[in-house]
Structure 1
């Protein structure tokens, strides 16, 4: 059964057509003009609009088509005309009509036309659903794997998506915490709302409150306009707080109030705004240890840790590396490149301390440097220096790799920098701290090695 709007200025014709459509099981609303039709379309949703072309001595049916395309973009519009011609058909189709019928129209002809229109709607809906499923599959690509740790993660994420509770995702850098958060969002009732990611480690402490909560005009120097914060931007959807352990204590207490009251006060404002937002947080820190040290509020930790999810490091699910590698290569090459079985086996032996992000970075470099498009062990060995215990670094190993000292040192330097950047999510300042060198020294080394971040 469909909801049909019938626009016909002749009362007898309108009554006969309505009766025929009712007998076919459809719900019909009738009117006599383009103006009435527009009012009905504003107030009610229709699957099919059936309109006469000539009404009140003019081609008012064209106005109905235009209004229908504006107000009911998913509806199918059928034109009835006693003045059929090629010009009429072309004009109607250009305006957005799905089909046209020549008057007088029989009940059977009308039934067939309506069924075809409804079938086209169903086909379009199926296509949209398939497109949405494909998009979700791409988003979830890096959560693939049949290892037990990943099965548990997917199960927990799906359960989390069925509720509106806060979620705290833990795990090392590069394990896919943001991807897990997006999976919860896209699988939940909030999928139609915004997903707003916030990297807490990338916001200067002095700007944190304004960025998160917004501000009123004149609240501080440079606040020239009222500005909603990121929390309000996520209204109706999900706010993802990445590396929430980096959040200053002064901001943590205000976030706690948002979680408790579902209200937010902008900087410099004397009133609060209601917000409907789900919060998902992620961290590579041990927040319970941070609570004991006094650097993270205990009450906020308990508010965030309602649904805990732990993302396993890649070394704990080595059996997933081949399928992950294939998926990454397929995604970045558009299906044009392949990985040899030997290459997949070799990849499965690497420690990947930077987890999936390190694997992806390595495969991207292989794709960029491969001349044939095929990725093999020779290219892999050229780009990846497997970590060696310090005691095993010797002249023998140098000669076995057929390298000189400068080449060996460059590979070691590149590997350590890659690992530091992977562990810190690309944060150069923190990576320099991990390596025990200055920020300027790391920038120099990045530039020398041609790595991202050296030319900023």
Structure 2
């Protein structure tokens, strides 16, 4: 039987919670302050603790601080208070509280929060989905996945790595095109030298030429000395041109010459400098469509497209989502020191059902956020925030009737209708009663019951 320790200095609160939770099938214990709670927790190892914030002797915040190192299987702690400030709520969550409930609380809501807390602590043997695999087993330079589309990508990477052939990687934003370029370089004979990466869309056109090809002293105002370009620096190595579709037409001509002649000329220079550089380009644009619009040179396209690699979007490789999930949990767990030992089946189903317009990058950001939000060793569906759900979720959070019984809702609606009718009749109770099709005496009774002024 799952055990809940109730820590509150008010006897009536402890009694109400004990009665409700025992009817729900929980074993309950009671403590009147933090010191007693620490002793009982050490002795009885509860699964969940409901802890009041304001108590004599030792308050709830200090109890929460001291609970953390108590033992390995620390209980999930739910704070209770009628006075909680924003600072206290944030401090409690920072110290590891699972959740925070405001007094006076709905006992049904308390039961729901306890159930969530218990789900987060569910023994691994009861979990339907495990994360046991070493996250690096299937990672090829951090490319993760075993789906059929990714297997085809891996095959091409393996085949092209040992050659000097120019590669064009195409795919939507966030699919991992740069990771594939790094994998090609890392598995090539050029791997001893660093791959040079250039984002062609992030550097202004007037600077990009000198960045790529360098310049001679005196080539322009401010060129006080010779500067080597990235192509020269990448000699005997690989240069990765990301967002190559953003290149201006004049720069496309110069890149075409580099690919044809295997040499560069610095800005302001006359000498052709031979280079041995492996070029890998990437784009999320349809270059053939840009050719039709006269925005991209057809001859350059064919020079770049010697070995094309098409990276599938995440929606076409959903079989890889559980493995990617595991990889990112391990990655961010190591960075933050926060460990998750298992993931609920419902959480994985939620991730797989989504189409991921931002692809793997969006999934990565989603998992990083989930690790921040998760309290305890389990990842649950409510920790996963997806854009398509936000509008609906926002409506639920702003729902004035959320967590209320039907009786309470009907009383609120009736009170609101009476107030509005009295306003419309300028306080004339007889007219209001007639409009509401009730007797004046019944209306007066309702006005007194609801405290309408």
Structure 1 distance, partners of 2:347, 2:223, is: 55
Relative to the length of structure 1, the TM-score reads 0.54
TM-superposed CA distance for 1:193, in Å, is 1.7
Query: Distance between the aligned counterparts of 1:401 and 1:152, measured in 2?
Result: 44
Deviations 1:395-442 (A, max 9, x none): xx568734459xxxxxxxxxxxxxxxxxxxxxxxxxxxxxxxxxxxxx
Aligned pairs for 1:321-360 (under 5 A) are: 321-334=321-334, 336-338=339-341, 339-360=343-364
Q: Which runs of 5+ in 2 are unaligned?
A: 1-134, 401-453
Aligned mate of 1:401, from 396, 399, 421: 396
Residue deviations 1:122-176 (CA, integer Å, cap 9, x gap)? xxxxxxxxxxxx99976622x2222111111111111111211000000000000
The 1-side partners of 2:381 and 2:158 are apart by: 37
Give, in whole Å, the separation in 1 of the partners of 2:241 and 2:389.
Answer: 33
Residues 286-321 of structure 1 show CA distances to partners (whole Å, capped at 9, x for unaligned) of 001111111111111000000000000000011110
Which residue of the partner structure matches residue 34 of structure 1?
Answer: none
Deviation of 1:248 (Å): 0.8
Hey, what does 2:365 align to over in structure 1?
A: 361
1:2-151 superposed matches below 5 A? 140-141=141-142, 143-151=143-151
| Per-residue CA distance 1:96-137 (angstroms, 9 max, x = gap) | xxxxxxxxxxxxxxxxxxxxxxxxxxxxxxxxxxxxxx9997
2:375 aligns with 371
Q: Which has the higher contact order (CA 8 A, sep 6+)?
A: 2
Change (3 A) 1:139 1:214: farther
Which consecutive residues of structure 1, in runs of 5 or more, have no partner in the other structure? 1-133, 406-456
Query: Alignment partner of 2:367: what SS?
Result: helix
Query: What RMSD, in angstroms, separates the aligned Cα atoms of the two structures?
Result: 2.3
Please name the residue that 1:203 is paired with.
203
Change (3 A) 1:333 1:247: same
| Greater radius of gyration (CA) | 2
Quick check: 2:200–2:246 contact (8 Å CA) kept in 1?
yes
8 Å CA contact 2:139, 2:145 repeated in 1: no
Change (3 A) 1:270 1:366: same
Give deviations 1:22-45, integer Å, cap 9, x for gaps.
xxxxxxxxxxxxxxxxxxxxxxxx
Instruction: Give a deviation string over 1:225-245, Cα, whole Å, max 9, x none.
Output: 211111111111110000000
C-alpha spacing 1:399/1:166, structure 2 compared with 1 (3 Å)? closer
CA distance in 2, matches of 1:212, 1:399: 48
CA distance in 1 between counterparts of 2:393 and 2:163 reads: 56
Could you tell me how far 1:190 is from its partner in structure 2? 1.0
Quote the residue 2:386 is aligned against.
Answer: 384
Q: Deviations over 1:56-95 (max 9, x none)?
A: xxxxxxxxxxxxxxxxxxxxxxxxxxxxxxxxxxxxxxxx
Residue 247 (structure 1) aligns with:
247
**Partners in 2 of 1:290 and 1:203 — Cα distance?**
20
